[in-house]
Amino acid sequence: MTRDDAASAAVQWALIGKEPHGWGYEVLECSDGLFQREDFAEMNQRYSPGTPEELPQVTVARAASGENAHLTLAIEEESTTRDAGGRDVVVTRLYAVPYARLAARAVSYEALYRACAPLALPVPGRATPVIGLPAPDVSPFVGRIDDTVVQTAALLLTGAPVQIVGAGGLPLDERLRFLDTVAAMLPYGIRTKFSASTWTSSTAQHQIRLSFTRHPRDSAHTVEWGRPAAIPQQAELARAYRQLISQYHDAELLELMAAETAERGFRPPDLRDLLAVLRRGKGQLQLPAALPAPGTSTAALLLECADALDGTGDLEDATARLAQATSGVPGDADPHHWEIISGRRMLAPRAGIPAKRLRPLYKLLVPLACGRHIRIGQVKTIEAVAGGLHQPLLDALYELRAQAEAEAQLYLGQRIGGGVLRNVLNGLGDAVLVEVALRTEDWTTADTVHQALVRRGSSGQGAELAGALRRGAFLAPVFARFLDTSPPDQRSRLAELLRAAYGKGPLGRSEAEEALSGRPDLVTPALLGAVLALYDGPDARDVLVDGYLTPLLANAGLGEDTGPRILARIAPPPPAPAPPEPATMPQWVPGTPPPPVPQKPPPRPRGGIVSRARRRLPGGGPRPDEGGAQQNGPPPEPRFSDTAGILILFGVIVIVIVVYLVLLVLPQFASP
Amino acid sequence: MQPTGRVKENPGMEPERGAPPAEHNIAMWGPPGSGKTTFLAALTIAMNRRQDGWKVVGANGPSTDALIKLTASLATQRRFPAATRGTERYRWYLIGAARERRRSLLRRRAPEDVRIGLDLLDPSGELFNQEHSGYAGAHGELIDNLVNSRGIVFLFDPVREFEDGDAFDYLHGVLSQLAHRMLDSPEFAGGRLPHYLAVCVTKFDEIRVLETAEKLRLVTSDVADPLGFPKVEPEDAQELFRTLCEVSATGNAEMVHNTLAQYFRPERVRYFVTSAIGFYVDPLIGAYDRDDYQNLLPEAESSRAVRIRGTVHPINVVEPLLWLGQSLAADRRGRSAR
Ligand SMILES: Nc1nc2c(ncn2[C@@H]2O[C@H](COP(=O)(O)OP(=O)(O)O)[C@@H](O)[C@H]2O)c(=O)[nH]1
Ligand SMILES: [Mg+2]
């Protein structure tokens, strides 16, 4: 059971700058954790505020999502370093803190800045230092909410970026505080989709939602500092928001927003949901809930419940009072509460008490034990402490599944079985399932996922499934872990998943490469075997080099000098020059443009980058380089007779056009 | 102001819409430090020195401001612009002196286009190298930008290539992805990209570059040039480029030349030998001095920082952009006439 101190969080970090004689910006050093060098490089570039004018500047953004969601803070500063061309080097300190920790205490951006700024980088040993998180407190924001803040917050709800101009003289602290206040006016959870900067270059092609800048750009809403203007008529959600918040006291609104920690973004459904929260919030606050008698702590109420379970006192009554005391958003797990729950064996089966009395109590106890997220490890601890997942406990856990991580949901589904498991599986996307399998310590869970994915493949849900499987190396490491004694077993399971992703029949060349290049570092011999067994093209060796070895080496971090050199050595030769035209081609009329040459296969794409680029191809049309069939099957018969006719006709037309153009141009040369 | 209620997530957040339509997207391409930003910064000065009526003006507030700042940095402060972070985008117009309309026998000719809109992308060079740019996000955006552009200014810095020899690393990955993305486009005919490509050898004012050109006997001087600057004739520029590729530190640059030839249509590629700052002109002599032409000075004794020594006389800075702008304008006219 996790019992970390809720008032602290581990910080991952990266230091971005230039090597002493380098030219380009790069991640110089970074912590060793969930995020790796490339992740930091990407965060740094995705939320780059552009070429800075003055330093320091602060940019807040986000990284990853779901359980891995983090908020990031980048501090750009001057340095004494010069690059190879003698240019000043800007150093960026990038920090990433788990969202869940920050959300639990509604930590403000400014507090995050105060906590991270003193952390000097690099931290020796690539360690992740721990920062203290202040207790939740909205009071600093009360009184900072003026019309500019309100207008800015409302404009953000249009989904378009917002820029603040005319605040050039404002110090960094105050600009950051302003951004922070605007964010505090919106549900805390939007921070998982939010980014803001104390300064962006007005000509930068940046992705930052809210920032101070010098000149307004066309692509964003503009707020003039201290001169709030109207919200555009058509921005209905924004107007509704402003209308609704006018009914709230500042502190009331800020607290309501701080408690809305579920991840959300700026899409219309998210925004409608926000309006609903604001409406509901007002309704609730008008009828204050009856609070438990003052002085009755959750711990005391827990003890009452424990007594009632043991036969002294009214269980129903005690449960109701506990429910009131803990109503609302689940808080953090408190080790003291857990001591009572486990010490008094509150989750153990009680023969004399009907399930319908136990279930409501368990639904309160589990969040007290686990906090707002129920993790698989916690479910197992509960199982051990309770002496098994007996029916009312299982039911309660299942009813709380919305708060449970995917693997915990699967585990519960397996325990209940039948339709429930199917239900759970239906609720989980391919990528999530793949991730669960990669992480799980249970073979049953991994096996369940495997079977589910194979089923999905046979019911024809190809492309997304293929992507998810590729990014998880088709679960190769999972099978290697659990079926280590039986490589043939591994191979046949992998073959099943390859078919699920790419359909029956042999693999095409690019499919084979794709299958290996998604996560070359996770590829196992069994996966190599399975792919090569299914691939029946001629150049299996190239598949291995382009699909596996090249991306493997490219991602191996072999150093910026050595890496590319090694890659160049195994790179395929550049594509051959256009083949001579087949002798059967009809002659084209001289003086006309040559007839279209039959499309030759394009330069061979390499590695995972390309497959990503492919995913971005617009439309769902046939992907031109999915050359499996083309390359393996016989080429289509060219229909020369038709083509020749068309070409001659085309030639004649072109000649007519050329003659016309010559006539058109001649007089010009004649004129002086 | 943007219409409200736009919901697209990040990638859709940017493109600046609502711009006048007649702009040609041109992207700068080259490793960090190859001279992209300085090249753009020299444009106003270069136009100004030509005295042929062409000038450059900003198309919107931010771009005008950037133009002023970049120009001032070179001309007044004599300092090179700061290293670019992220991707900067400048929208400028090249405006030429109006030309008379002529009539032809068969048809009234459309008025000459004297205003060329440039939508210039100046990415920080590391984006071109996958090893340095995170895989997805920013890199993907760069490819998007290139797909949408039709003109490319490809900067080849011979000095850097001589020392680091990594120009190829900044070329082939992005180029093959660009080709891959354009496979479906009808413009991708014959396996070649539709882009116009201005290959610019930069820093011609550097000793090592000029000397190489001299050794190859490619340097001439133009009697009509009052400054008497050494010069490489346009038809020899490709030769110089190829030779400079051959002396690269890793030998990979040879592939740069070949790769460009593979991917772009020969009639859409032109070579230029350029310098953003030009040779030093002693105010007393008022012309090029072959014994003292270096226009760079170290900022201070021990410092690596450099500043510009004298006045700035850009070489072949206007020409590539004008050629690209005019080719693209002609292309567009051709297309709309069809
Ligand atoms: N000798 C010389 N050096 C130049 C020239 N242009 C740029 N440089 C040098 O190259 C460095 C990088 O230029 P910059 O334009 O910032 O490159 P970018 O990273 O490609 O935008 C400058 O700081 C100068 O030291 C030029 O025309 N001549
Ligand atoms: Mg630059």
Whether A253 shows a pLDDT value over 90: the answer reads yes
Which residues of B are less than 8 Å from A268 in CB distance?
A: 5, 7
Name beta bridge partners: B233: none
Residue A51: partners with Cβ closer than 8 Å, 6 or more residues away? A201, A204, B82, B83, B84, B85, B86, B88
**B87-95 and B219-221: which strand pairing?**
unpaired
B292 C-alpha to ligand 1 centroid (Å): 20
- Dihedral angle, C-alpha A468, A472, A476, A477, nearest 10 °: -150
Whether residues A256 and A144 fall in one domain: yes
Structural domain contains residue A368: yes
- Report pLDDT for A21: 82
- Chain B residues touching A664 at Cβ < 8 A: 104-107
Q: How far is B258 from chain A (nearest CA, A)?
A: 9
Domains held by chain A: number: 4
Nearest by CB to A25, which of B126, B141, B160? B126
Q: How confident is the model at residue B106 (pLDDT cuts 50, 70, 90)?
A: low
Domain assignment of residue A431, yes or no: no
Find chain B residues with C-beta within 8 A of A82's C-beta: 303-305
* Cα-Cα end-to-end distance for chain B: 35
Say how many C-beta atoms besides its own lie within 10 A of residue A586's C-beta: 14
Whether residue A87 has its Cβ less than 6 Å from ligand 1: yes
Q: Per the CB < 8 Å rule, is A219 touching B140?
A: no
Please report how many Cα atoms fall inside a 13 Å half-sphere around the Cα of residue A539, on the Cβ side.
13
Q: Return the percentage of chain B with pLDDT > 70, whole number.
A: 85
Same domain as A129, residue A17: yes
Would the pLDDT of A354 be above 80? yes
B201 CB less than 6 Å from ligand 1? no
* Pairing between β-strand B306-308 and β-strand B296-298 as defined by DSSP bridges: antiparallel
DSSP letter string over A339-370? Answer: HHHHHTTTTS--TTS-HHHHHHHHHHHHHHHH
Task: Decide whether any atom of ligand 1 lies within 6 Å of the B34 Cβ.
Answer: yes
Q: Which residues contact B60 (CB under 8 A, 6 or more apart)?
A: A215, A217, A218, B19, B91
Please give the full DSSP string across A609-657, using - where no structure is assigned.
Answer: HHHHHHHT-SSSSPPTT--HHHHHSPPPPP-HHHHHHHHHHHHHHHHHH
Which residues, 6+ apart, have CB-to-CB distance to B122 below 8 Å?
B28, B36, B37, B40, B84, B87, B88, B89, B90
pLDDT tens digits, A488-517:
999 999 999 999 888 888 888 888 998 998
pLDDT tens-digit readout, A520-541: 889 999 999 999 999 988 888 8
| Whether residue A150 is found in the same domain as residue A228 | yes
Please check whether residues A182 and A244 belong to one and the same domain: yes
Kindly give the distance from the C-alpha atom of residue B227 to the centroid of ligand 1, in angstroms, as a whole number: 23
Average pLDDT of span B69-75: 95
- Whether A662 shows a pLDDT value over 70: the answer reads no
- Nearest-atom number in ligand 1 for the CA of B306 is 25
Name the pLDDT band for B116 (thresholds 50, 70, 90): confident
List the single residue in A with minimal CA-CA distance to B65: A215
In a domain, A243, yes or no: yes
DSSP letter at A520 equals: G
Q: In this structure, are A235 and A271 located in the same domain? A: yes
Atom number of ligand 1 nearest to Cα B31: 20
A176: in domain: yes
CB A155 within 8 A of CB A125: no
Return the structure tokens found at A485: 């004694």
Q: What percent of chain A has pLDDT over 90?
A: 41
Higher pLDDT, A229 or A651: A229
pLDDT 10s digits, A273-299: 899 999 887 754 333 333 444 446 888
Per-residue pLDDT at B19? 37
Q: Are B105 and A667 within 8 A, CB to CB?
A: yes
With cut-offs at 50, 70 and 90, classify the pLDDT of residue B76.
very high
| Residue B235 Cα, gap to closest chain A Cα (Å) | 25
Distance from CA of A49 to the nearest CA of B (A): 7
Give yes or no: residues A19 and A129 share one domain: yes
**Is A219 contained in some domain?**
yes
Q: Which amino acid is at A492?
A: S
pTM above 0.80, yes or no: no
Ligand nearest to the CA of B40: 1
Tell me, yes or no, whether A29 and A52 share the same domain: yes
Q: Which residue has the higher pLDDT, A316 or B320?
A: B320
| Ligand 1 atom with the shortest distance to the CA of A87 | 23
Across A299-304, average pLDDT: 88
Residues in contact with B305: Cβ distance below 8 Å, sequence separation at least 6, in sequence order: A82, A86, A87, A88, B298, B299
CB distance B30 to ligand 1 below 6 Å: yes
| A235 CA: distance to closest CA in chain B (Å) | 6
Average pLDDT over residues A227-251: 89
The ligand with the least distance to the CA atom of B30 is: 1
Q: How many whole angstroms from B35 Cα to the centroid of ligand 1?
A: 4
Q: Supply the pLDDT for residue A189.
A: 96
Q: Which residue of A has its CA nearest to B102?
A: A668
What is the rounded distance in angstroms from the CA atom of residue B292 to the CA atom of residue B290?
Answer: 6
Last residue of a domain, one of A426, A450, A475: A426
Q: Which of A469-483, A652-666, B286-300 has the lowest mean pLDDT?
A: A652-666
Domain final residue pick, A281, A316, A346: A281
Q: How many residues can be counted in chain B?
A: 338
Smallest-distance ligand from the CA of B81: 1
* Nearest partner of A428 among A70, A62, A66, A101, judged by Cα: A66
Nearest residue by C-alpha to atom 28 in ligand 1? B203
Could you report the per-residue pLDDT of A581-636, keeping only the tens digit for each?
443 333 334 444 444 443 443 443 333 333 333 333 333 333 333 333 333 333 34
On whether residue A2 sits in a domain, the answer given is no
Q: In terms of residue numbers, what domain contains A408? A: 324-426
Q: Are residues A363 and A476 in the same domain?
A: no
* DSSP one-letter code for A227: -
pLDDT tens, position by position, A64-108: 999 999 999 999 999 988 898 889 999 999 999 999 999 999 999
Report pLDDT for A660. Answer: 66
- The rounded Å distance from CA A216 to ligand 2 centre is 22
Q: Are residues A539 and A485 in the same domain?
A: yes
Domains and CATH numbers, chain B: 24-99+111-337 (3.40.50.300)
Distance (Å, whole) CA A271 – CA A279:
12
* B contact residues 54-113, partner A, Cβ 8 Å cutoff: 60-63, 65-66, 80, 82-90, 102, 104-107
If one compares B240 and A280, the residue with the highest pLDDT of the two is B240
pLDDT surpassing 90 at residue A477: yes
SS3 state of residue A167:
coil
A615 within some domain: no
Tell me if A299 is assigned to some domain.
no
Do residues B200 and B318 make contact, with C-beta atoms less than 8 angstroms apart? no
Q: How confident is the model at residue B67 (pLDDT cuts 50, 70, 90)?
A: very high
Tens-digit pLDDT profile for residues A363-417: 999 888 887 778 888 898 899 888 889 988 998 998 888 778 889 999 998 888 7
Tokens at residue A282, please?
Answer: 């007002």
- Give the separation between CA A380 and CA A398, rounded to whole angstroms: 14
Rounded CA Rg of chain A: 31
Q: Which ligand is nearest to the CA of A23?
A: 1
- Do A244 and A150 belong to one domain? yes
Bridge partner list, B232: B219
CA-based max dimension of chain A: 115
What does the pLDDT read at residue A101? 95
Choose one of B80, B84, B162, B272 to mutate for the ligand 1 pocket test, by most ligand atoms within 8 angstroms of C-beta: B80
Same domain, A160 and A244: yes
Is the ipTM here above 0.85? yes
Of the three residues A501, A527, A554, the one that is the final residue of a domain is A554
Q: Confidence class of residue B318 from pLDDT cuts 50, 70 and 90?
A: very high
Question: Is B85 within 8 Å of A25 when comparing Cβ atoms?
Answer: yes
Do A35 and A115 lie in a common domain?
yes
Residue A95: the pLDDT is 98
Per-chain mean pLDDT for chain A: 82
